[in-house]
Every structure is written in structure tokens, then in C-alpha cells.
Amino acid sequence: MDTQVIDASSFAGDVIDPRHAGYEKLRMVWNGLHDRRPDLILQPRNAADVQAAIRLAVDRGLPLAVRGGGHSLPGFSTCDKGMVLDLSRLNHVEIDPAKHLAEVGGGALLGDLDRAGSPFGLVTPAGVVSHTGVGGLTLGGGMGWLSRRFGMTVDNLIAVEICLADGTLLTVDADTHPDLFWALRGGGGNFGVVTRFRFRMHPLGRVCVGAWDYDIRQISTALKKYRDLAALAPRQVTTSFAATRDKFSITAFASDGLAPAEIEAFGQLANSAQGGITGMSFLELQSRADDHVAWGRRYYTKGGFFAELSDAAIETIADSVGRTPSPDVEVYALQLGGAVKDIDEAATAYAGRAAEFYWIANAMWNDPAEDKACMAWGRETARRLALHSATTNYVNEQSDSGIAQSAYGAEKFARLTAIKRRYDPMNVFRLNQNITP
């Protein structure tokens, strides 16, 4: 694909064009399926650089891809031709341990946030892989090991600094531009570039992690027992499961000083589990899957919310993992509920408060020859699991674009559209689960 040379002298940050030695590396995103060649990659060092970059893209009519951690499954944070606004240098994190606050740059990774809070024993609930971007994850909602105890990432968002399509820089919170603040808590990157997030933090307390693998032939029995146990778990306990064609795995995480006895039963779901209580710290848990879901592998993922884990859903999971085309292809689910349900569904744009679990049909593989089979498995498994799922969805864990209307539901989508019209009428920010103005 040909690229053009664009004059970016109005931009004071780092400019990487196809002639730059770092271009081939910097044009890559996490999902190896997306091999695109932008004309220009701009790396801002501060909010003023972000303003200049947006003005440049708008003046030149360039497609604009905004990149936080680069983890977008559909590859929204890159483009052919056009400009990538790579926020990776805006990765500062400052903790105020007395006030339990974190100020986080728009391009920080989850690992940056977790590591900064760790010396103070403070956390903000976010996701489960440390190389994921705070930016994309937060704007879609943000769920992980701490959501049942402290809510979604957006429930802990106090304020943002955002650069709009016309280059204006705004501070937005519950009292200032409240409609935009509502939309930013789940509406994705549709409204501008967030240069700074302010989060509430919480004392974590002592943690305990248990991890067990079961023979895949025991999946139905184990999942039914798991469901019943998970329903009784206090909100300081969160569990997840993953099933491939070879094994069925459970992880149980407890914080707030809970005893290992609170999670040991997840190791007794069926005969002869391998594993047990680990000595993992919270930081180790947060990076445990980093290498497995490494940059550059090929990924196709679709997900949905279970209000409950029905027998029919369990049988569908068991059947689907028996048909996977590649060893790392899996069905994964994270337990929700708890503090996520405490917040009224209408309070934020995120559209999954009632769910007990978020599941993904998660195909990952390395060989392009497997693309067709892995993607077909992901589509078919998600289609079957959707029959047992809520009609709304989580915009952040979907490989297919164009799903915003169905994911938010009619009412929220209408409200988001009205806000989009006000803040980005020309749809400058359209490489996302787009809310067309």
C-alpha cells in the first residue's frame, strides 16, 4: 500500500512517517490480523500536542486512529493512509495516597497504574492483562478481578481531561458537562481524546489466588458446581473460567484479607483437579496472562453477558470447545455482579449492569493458514452463546465493528447519538464502535 508524506511541522511531539527507522515497529498493533500502513504516526508529549495533532488531521481531512494500548480487537487504533495518534508517551501515573486518587495519562497501560498503586496498597479496578491500555478499557467500561468489590473502572472515574474534535481541551466530571461524562463512561472513544483520567483508588488488603485445571471431559459437571458456588461467593471473591479442547480451568481471587478457605472449594468441582492455592501477588495475577495473549498473535473475539449460567449455556460451551480448530481457542468467562450491580443501569453508558458473567468466544492462533477456521469457530460459538445472553453487549471485546446500536440498546444509543452530535458532529472520531452523529 502506498503512503504519502505529510507535512507535520505544526506538531511539536515525535513524528514517525514511513521513512523513519521505527515505522515498521510502531505501525503494529496488538492483534496481528491488522497489518496496516498509516501515512503518519504522531506521538504527543502533552495535551497541547494532542490538540495540534487533532487540528492537523481535521485540516488535512486525514482518517484519525487514536491509540492507547493498541489492544482494539477490530484494529481501531491503526489505519491505512491517515494518521495514528499514538498516546504511549502520555503514560504518567501519579498517586495521591492520602486522598486515594490516581492521575493517569491517556496512554498509560494497566500495568503502569497497578505498579504505581502497589507501594501504597491501593488499586483501581481495571482489566486482567497488564499490557492493555487504560484509555480504551476505561472508555468502554472496564471489568476485571476487582469489579465485584469496587465496580467497573468507569464507576471509579472522577474526571477526565479531553481534547474535542475542534481542538478544545475540556475538564469533564459529574458537575461539568455531565452529559459528556455520562457518555464517556462506556461510550468508547467516540467523543474525543482523553489526555488524563482521575480515578478513585481503594485499599486492596491481603490477596489469595487459587488456580485449578480439570480434565475437559468433566466440564459440564464442573461448570454446574462452579455456578452454584460462584453464586454464594462474597464480593471480595471473583472467579473466572476458561475452557479449551484440552482442559477446563478455574481461577479464584480473594482480596481484603479473606482466608484461602473462602476459595478452596473451586478446587473440588470434579475429580482430580491439578493446582491449588498459589502464592501469587496481585501484580503477578495481573500479568499472569500477558505472554499467552502476546502482541502479534492473531485474535478473533466476540462476547456477551450472561444474566445466569444456564444448563443450556453450559452444554453449548462444552460442545463448542469440543470443536475448536486450534489448541489455544477458548471460551472464557469472568464473574461480575457485586458492586457492578449496585450502580443504576441508567447512570452510565456502559450497558451490562444486570449480568452475572461476561463471556468471550476467544480464538487465538499464530498461523495465517488457520484464519478462516478460527474466525468461523468464533462467529459460530458466539452466535450459539448469544441465544442464552442479554441483548445488550460490551463494546470493548468484539472483533466485529458496527455493533454500537445493538450493544447499547435503543434508549442509550439515542442518548449517545445526541451527545455525539453535540461534541463530534463531523465524526472525526470514527475508528471505534462508532456512534454515527
* Interface with ligand FAD, residue 125, by CB under 6 A: no
Only segment of 33-41, 65-73, 174-182, 238-246 that touches ligand FAD (CB under 6 A): 65-73
Q: How far apart are CA 42 and CA 53, in angstroms?
A: 7
* Interface with ligand FAD, residue 352, by CB under 6 A: no
Please say whether the beta carbons of 283 and 258 come within 8 A: no
* Interface with ligand FAD, residue 359, by CB under 6 A: no
Residue selected from 58, 293, 373, 403 as contacting ligand FAD according to rule CB under 6 A: 293
Please say whether the beta carbons of 286 and 114 come within 8 A: yes
Nearer to ligand FAD, 13 or 140 (CB): 140
Cell numbers placing 58:
481535521
Smallest distance from ligand FAD to CB 259, Å:
26
Nearer to ligand FAD, 32 or 133 (CB): 133
Q: What is the DSSP string of 389-420?
A: S-SS--GGG-SSSS-HHHHHHHHHHHHHHHHH
Nearer to ligand FAD, 255 or 432 (CB): 432
Nearer to ligand FAD, 267 or 304 (CB): 304
Cell numbers placing 332:
472464557
* Interface with ligand FAD, residue 156, by CB under 6 A: no
Q: Which one-letter DSSP state was computed for residue 319?
A: H
Only segment of 92-100, 141-149, 170-178, 231-239 that touches ligand FAD (CB under 6 A): 141-149
* Interface with ligand FAD, residue 304, by CB under 6 A: no
Give the count of residues interacting with ligand FAD (CB under 6 A). Answer: 35
Binding mask 85-124 for ligand FAD (x = CB under 6 A): --x------------------x------------------
Nearer to ligand FAD, 314 or 428 (CB): 428
Residue selected from 38, 69, 186, 337 as contacting ligand FAD according to rule CB under 6 A: 69
Nearer to ligand FAD, 67 or 415 (CB): 67
Q: Which one-letter DSSP state was computed for residue 290?
A: T
Q: What is the DSSP string of 43-103?
A: E-SSHHHHHHHHHHHHHHT--EEEESSS--TT-TT--SSSEEEEGGG---EEEETTTTEEE
Residues numbered 174 to 203 that lie near ligand FAD (CB under 6 A) are 189, 193-194
Nearer to ligand FAD, 66 or 252 (CB): 66
Distances (CA, A) of 9 to 12, 53, 56, 103, 163: 7, 10, 10, 30, 20
Only segment of 133-141, 218-226, 303-311, 340-348 that touches ligand FAD (CB under 6 A): 133-141
Please say whether the beta carbons of 141 and 121 come within 8 A: no
Smallest distance from ligand FAD to CB 221, Å:
27
Only segment of 15-23, 60-68, 372-380, 416-424 that touches ligand FAD (CB under 6 A): 60-68
Q: How far apart are CA 70 and CA 78, in angstroms?
A: 8
* Interface with ligand FAD, residue 270, by CB under 6 A: no
Smallest distance from ligand FAD to CB 315, Å:
26
Residue selected from 142, 187, 304, 338 as contacting ligand FAD according to rule CB under 6 A: 142
Task: Order the strands of the 247-254 sheet from edge to edge.
Answer: 274-278, 208-215, 247-254, 237-243, 330-335, 357-365, 298-306
Nearer to ligand FAD, 192 or 267 (CB): 192
Please say whether the beta carbons of 119 and 282 come within 8 A: no
Report the 3 state secondary structure along 182-234: HHHCCCHHHCCEEEEEEEECEECCCCEEEEEEEEHHHHHHHHHHHHHHHHHCC
Residue selected from 40, 56, 57, 66 as contacting ligand FAD according to rule CB under 6 A: 66
Smallest distance from ligand FAD to CB 124, Å:
13
Nearer to ligand FAD, 218 or 389 (CB): 389
Residue selected from 71, 298, 415, 420 as contacting ligand FAD according to rule CB under 6 A: 71
User: Largest Cα–Cα distance in the chain?
Assistant: 66
Cell numbers placing 145:
478481578
CA angle, 344 then 337 then 144, to 5°: 105
Cell numbers placing 122:
491501593
HSE-CB for 338 with a 13 A CA cutoff = 26
* Interface with ligand FAD, residue 333, by CB under 6 A: no
* Interface with ligand FAD, residue 210, by CB under 6 A: no
* Interface with ligand FAD, residue 396, by CB under 6 A: yes
Cell numbers placing 68:
492507547
Residues that bind ligand FAD (CB under 6 A): 30, 66-73, 76-77, 87, 106, 127-129, 132-133, 135-137, 139-144, 189, 193-194, 293, 396-397, 431-432
